[in-house]
Amino acid sequence: MASNIQQLHFVLVPLMSQSHIIPLTDFGKLLAQRGVVVTMITTPLNAVRCKPIIDGAQNANLNIQLASLHFPTREVGLPEGVENLDELSMKSLKTLGINFFQANEMLREPLEKLLAEMVPRPSCIISTDALPWTNEVAWKFKIPRYSFNTISCFSLVLFHKLKISRVHESVTSDSESFVVPGLPDKIELKRSQLPEWVKRTSNDNNSHVMDKLKATEHLPRGVLVNTFEEMEPRYVEEFKKQEKLVFCVGSVSLCNTDQSDMSSRGNKASVEEDSCLKWLDSMKPCSVIYVCFGSLSNIPYPQLIELGLGLEASNRPFIWIIRKGDYSPRLEKWLEEYRFEEKVKGRGLIIRGWAPQVLILSHPSVGGFFTHCGWNSILEAVCEGMPMITWPMFAEQFYNERFVVDVVKIGVPVGVEEALTSVEDEEKFELLVTSSQVKEAIDELMDGEDAGERRKRARELGEKAKKAIEDGGSSYLYITNLIEDVRQQNSSRF
């Protein structure tokens, strides 16, 4: 490797959210594997989560390190210990979300001090798309800044088409369907499925945050997208019409090739990986449904019960992840009184907390993924050739559902028609999905008329994903081009 490449120093700055930290850490490993120096910026509590994966990379002689900055929780009025977006419930996110973004923005000054002391000097900043202030930091140090997108080209193009057409404003009700114009595929949505910032009015609490993002979206030197060209070629082509420089660098999760890396991504698992694998080993190939709804979704108690009843009625093996935000004494009481785990004994495994998702999805016994349609989760499933049941809840997840179901055709929708919002009174909560819908979606995914073709398409897509990241693949070459672009931008300064 040439010395000028070895001296390039990539500084990676994520929004302090698992959906941003995890993929950017993975991308840092991919960069370090190419011989550049990488520094991952985080905060003390997030550093604890990242350390195992960084330690593993350093043990493999990769030049990647963590740098921790104080996160100003008290200064902005956040509860003590809240350094990650997944520590906020959907309800508190509405009131404290703006505080959280303010805290992220206050990392600017300590980051500048850190950059000034770095050896070798930083060559570029790569920050996730929610941190527009990093443009100004990059200008100050006369280095390029690249935006790392944690959503697909499909969603980025769809956002753009809605922005310029405003077609959703012409429908008369939230339940009325409309076709998004100008897309390579016919994509239908409802206004009730759009992200809040798309529907928002100018007096919304978080409106100025989105205004900042929109005002600075054209400022990065280039845009990185965690996708691979072969999965969405027409949407990559469309997105390149919007941006001057695009790099499709995914799927970044494929940098994790051994069991220890797969099990340590994101957080300490709430179950011993050996016991989880032993349980999976006892199941037939492609028989287990893996059920997990991400780190930010907060599902109301009545809806969780309905999900559990649907899993029970399916009479199929499953692993159900009940994340921290959903777990409650009330739910535990229902599980005990209903004797849920006793009724599904031998075919049902509940994990309360964090689970090694990539490790589970890669196991041959897993045959389907019940997902909230977060882009990171979709990519992880795609890489393992896994068909999906889609249950989008908020943000761009309904876009992702349409991509999975209508574009690449590897998913079955559970049938949810509107976004999940924070619930003030769970007793008045109206179910979005019934137990019968859960069972029907599982039956369709595993044994439906198109099940075989769907699984074949998923496996073919998984093979393409792996080839894209290998030496000579499309994503590999995009990363090569990125490194060369950074080298040229730095050499032009002298």
Closest CA to 436 of 285, 323, 313: 313
pLDDT at 166: 95
Supply the mean pLDDT for the chain. Answer: 91
> Does residue 354 contact residue 322 with C-beta atoms inside 8 Å?
no
Calpha distance 63→310 (Å, rounded): 47
pLDDT at 217: 57
> Does residue 355 contact residue 270 with C-beta atoms inside 8 Å?
yes
pLDDT at 332: 94
| Inter-helix orientation angle 44-59/18-33, to 10° | 30
Residue with tokens 């594997």: 33
pLDDT tens-digit readout, 87-130: 887 778 778 999 999 999 999 999 999 999 999 999 999 999 89
Q: Which CATH number fits domain 3-164+216-255+467-491: 3.30.565.10, 3.60.21.10, 3.40.50.2000, 2.60.40.10?
A: 3.40.50.2000
Strand partners, 125: 11, 145
Tell me the three state secondary structure of residue 380: helix
Q: Where are the alpha helices (DSSP H) in 166-200?
A: 196-199
Residue with tokens 């206004």: 191
Q: Residue 200's pLDDT band (boundaries 50, 70, 90)?
A: low
Instruction: Write down the architecture of domain 270-465 according to CATH.
Output: 3-Layer(aba) Sandwich (3.40)
> Does residue 14 contact residue 128 with C-beta atoms inside 8 Å?
yes
> Does residue 122 contact residue 115 with C-beta atoms inside 8 Å?
yes
Q: Between these two residues, 325 and 416, which has the higher pLDDT value?
A: 416
Calpha distance 316→365 (Å, rounded): 12
Average pLDDT rounded to a whole number, residues 263-282: 74
Say whether pLDDT at 28 is over 50: yes
pLDDT tens-digit readout, 349-397: 999 988 889 999 999 999 999 999 999 999 999 999 999 999 999 989 9
Q: Residue 268's pLDDT band (boundaries 50, 70, 90)?
A: low
pLDDT tens-digit readout, 127-172: 998 999 999 999 999 999 999 999 999 999 999 999 999 999 999 9
> Does residue 220 contact residue 233 with C-beta atoms inside 8 Å?
no
Strand partners, 490: none
Calpha distance 208→427 (Å, rounded): 34
Calpha distance 323→298 (Å, rounded): 9
Say whether pLDDT at 220 is over 70: yes
**Strand ranges (DSSP E) for 333-400?**
348-352, 366-371, 388-390
Q: What are phi and psi of 388, to 5 degrees?
A: -130, 150
Average pLDDT rounded to a whole number, residues 47-66: 94
| Inter-helix orientation angle 435-447/451-469, to 10° | 70
pLDDT tens-digit readout, 290-338: 999 987 778 999 999 999 999 999 999 999 999 877 888 999 999 999 9
Say whether pLDDT at 48 is over 80: yes
- For 456-490, the DSSP string reads HHHHHHHHHHHHHHSTTSHHHHHHHHHHHHHHHHH
> Does residue 131 contact residue 108 with C-beta atoms inside 8 Å?
no
Average pLDDT rounded to a whole number, residues 446-463: 98
> Does 3-164+216-255+467-491 match 270-465 in CATH topology?
yes
Calpha distance 290→376 (Å, rounded): 15
Average pLDDT rounded to a whole number, residues 14-19: 94
Task: List the chain domain ranges.
Answer: 3-164+216-255+467-491, 270-465
Calpha distance 451→453 (Å, rounded): 6
Tell me the three state secondary structure of residue 68: strand
Say whether pLDDT at 270 is over 50: yes
Calpha distance 368→289 (Å, rounded): 5
* CA dihedral (119, 123, 128, 133) positive or negative: positive
Percent of the chain whose predicted confidence (pLDDT) is above 90: 78
Structure tokens at 211: 């205004």
Say whether pLDDT at 9 is over 60: yes
